[in-house]
Amino acid sequence: MTLDRYSVPDVGEGDVADEEFVVTDDVLVKVFALGPGGQLSTHEHESATNVFHVLEGTVTVIQEGDEAEIEAPGVVRHERGVAHGARNDTDEVVVFTASLCPLPS
């Protein structure tokens, strides 16, 4: 068995970086790094559930217009069709994964 490890891209103020971590026929997992002030724009997935796993830092999660600060380790589920996004309101880099299942068509 091999355990994969994510790598955190070097991000600065306002930067957002992402990298595909796992891609199979039925799931996509991406790693996101948000520099201070970085933001993942609000969006939705009509045909997939999206789950954020906060790995490092504290991220402000936006869901249907509501906001909550989620500290690592933390998990947030976004049901299909629910508008969601994320923002880094801290002075540190925030790292989280986003898992989509089933894979959007």
pLDDT digits (tens, 9 = 90+) for 19-31: 888 888 888 999 9
Tell me the domain boundaries of the chain: 16-101
* Predicted TM-score (pTM) of this structure: 0.90
pLDDT band, residue 41 (cuts 50/70/90) = very high
> What mean pLDDT, rounded, does the chain reach?
91
Q: Residue length, the chain?
A: 105
pLDDT band, residue 6 (cuts 50/70/90) = confident
Q: Cα(51)–Cα(78) distance, rounded to whole angstroms? A: 6
The correct answer on CATH 3.40.50.300 for the domain covering 16-101 is no
